[in-house]
Chains A and B, each alone.
Chain A
């Protein structure tokens, strides 16, 4: 975002005034974090409203139409305020510290992933040289939070939902990572910026269509959305791991879910759809257009497909997606070796 030299000058300025070195660094970190949180909140609230509108139009309804005037654009804001003002209920028999900590863990993992997403040329918080590895590692942390939530609620349905969720996330992570390896082999770098720059002339979706398909399927499953929303199947499990949560804690889970959706689609955009690259418009606009197109596809799938069964879910992960991902990896590896 800012060149390192400018940052050093900024720090030197503070040192000249005799302010301890930690203050400018902390204030910059806080600033960046609040920008990310602000972006996540706005994006998630927009997504929630958008999903409600799309689902409504798919189902021959209107969706929210009142709050805020134009097509109910302020509905999510009103919902957020309502959830904030609600009573904070913690079940009597719940494991209090873990119950309180769980939504934070889930949200923190979603939050941390945004650090390495390249929104545009230079528009990246920290261009880590292990960017994509970092994202994969950090987003796996959410499973810990989900198990914490399910276990500490002291509720059968929540525990069952959490275990299903964990089983699903762990199973789908394997083909997800392996399908990402194909493009990484082509680029030869784990840095998100490098991956985008490598696609200047040809998007990787053209070279790696199979990887894109397996990645996207896994991404839908990772975010627990239909047709893979078994952890929260309301006709079987009522609501899954967050059944005992209400008010702001529930809102944080909700926010994290949509933040995660954005992350997986942003990764898909970065790795397969050329990231910020595109003609005429500024880079970040292109990035958002592509990401929101993928998000639309996810929403579209959710409102037209049927839920799969647990055994079918595992079958798809281990017997279909994983071999396909390996096939893709093998072919890509051979191609990079001999071509």
Chain B
């Protein structure tokens, strides 16, 4: 075959390919990518053939900055990781430092951490449910979820003075004790919140259109979920009974009685239903903690300048989005020698290319929503 013929063949091949399939950019300014995520989609008509997520639009050198800050100074930076669950990031980081330095945490602080952490989980899942509804075209559930999330934010504002980036936890406990009457407010919130869940169901779970939109879509097979190291509701949606609160207990979670909801087939519906039931479990945990909470100090006496002994630690917690791990290598100075964050949504997002192919563009939005990404954490 001559060179010219070969070129012609190639051109024919390429045109045939380009006639059938096209590459489409989704994001980074798309309303449904939940931030600055860019997805490159190979489309065959309306059907997705391939998906490549592009990250890095919000990279802030979080880990490098951490290596140049004292241990306490890193806490405000962890707020900006998963900005929808800042309390949990604070907690995860403080827990890593406490384990590294062997600092005890007072009993009351542990209880307050659990209460605050589970409220944070509720708030985070609420924002997820709302935006997920928005992606599916249901605007009302978004407003309803934000109404209740607002109440959680009010509770957090009362303890920390902030609405989003709290920096409330400290290595060795909490910055402050909660104000007087706050625990009663939490109880009142739970009483208000419990009947709201069936209301959300009426807008979402009970609707046949909602069910048809997300059942059997974006299936993540259990073996894929494991090989991509997924965690949190994404892993549980695929049918794994795995929750760090129970399987690698930290803080005082082993004292509470709660269930771990799991899915069956690993589709969007399962991930949705897992999160929806997790809110109920969080309510249960907070109620138990409220009953048992003892009085006492909330911060154990720690040195002004914290120095960690030489060594390293990997400490992980179950945030609303999955396993958030902090890996800290200490060289004996005031600063970590190496500081690494294992962000759950970054890992979960990497499983997106196996969930999407074969489904419609409209499903892409639903599948992406079901992973519940937060770009602040994906890019760090």
Please list the residues of chain A having a beta carbon within 8 angstroms of any beta carbon in chain B. Answer: 55, 58-61, 226-227, 229-230, 233-236, 238, 303-312
> Given A60-B143, A236-B32, A236-B361, are A227 and B209 neighbors across the interface (CB < 8 Å)?
yes
CB-based contact B213/A306 at 8 Å: yes
Known contacts A307-B136, A307-B137, A307-B138; 18 additional CB pairs below 8 A are A55-B140, A59-B139, A59-B143, A60-B143, A235-B136, A303-B139, A304-B138, A304-B140, A304-B203, A306-B136, A307-B213, A308-B209, A308-B213, A309-B212, A310-B46, A310-B360, A312-B209, A312-B213
CB-based contact B143/A305 at 8 Å: no
Contacts of A236 in B (CB 8 A): 32, 361-362, 365
A interface footprint on B293-329 (CB within 8 Å = 1, 0 otherwise): 0000000000000000000000000000000000000
Is B153 interfacial (CB 8 A cutoff)? no
Q: Least Cβ distance of B150 to chain A in Å? A: 11
Interchain CB contact (< 8 A) of A233 among B147, B212, B362, B363: B362
CB-based contact A233/B144 at 8 Å: no
Contacts of B140 in A (CB 8 A): 55, 58-59, 303-304
Closest to B135 in A: A235
Closest to A302 in B: B139
Contacts of A61 in B (CB 8 A): 143
Q: Least Cβ distance of B210 to chain A in Å? A: 5
Closest to A303 in B: B140
Contacts of A230 in B (CB 8 A): 362
Interface of chain A, helix or strand or loop or mixed?
loop
Closest to A308 in B: B209
Most chain A CB neighbours (cut-off 10 Å) among B46, B139, B204, B360: B139
> A263–B160 Cα gap in the complex (Å)?
55
Q: Least Cβ distance of A162 to chain B in Å? A: 15
Is B244 interfacial (CB 8 A cutoff)? no
Contacts of B203 in A (CB 8 A): 304
CB-based contact B360/A309 at 8 Å: yes
Q: Can you spell out 26 A-B residue pairs with CB atoms less than 8 angstroms apart?
A: A59-B140, A59-B144, A226-B137, A227-B209, A229-B137, A230-B362, A233-B137, A234-B31, A235-B31, A235-B134, A235-B135, A235-B365, A236-B365, A303-B139, A304-B140, A306-B136, A306-B204, A306-B207, A306-B209, A306-B213, A307-B136, A307-B138, A309-B362, A309-B363, A311-B360, A312-B213
CB-based contact B144/A60 at 8 Å: yes
> A189–B360 Cα gap in the complex (Å)?
45
> A235–B147 Cα gap in the complex (Å)?
22
Is B133 interfacial (CB 8 A cutoff)? yes
Closest to A315 in B: B212
A interface footprint on B131-166 (CB within 8 Å = 1, 0 otherwise): 001111111100110010000000000000000000
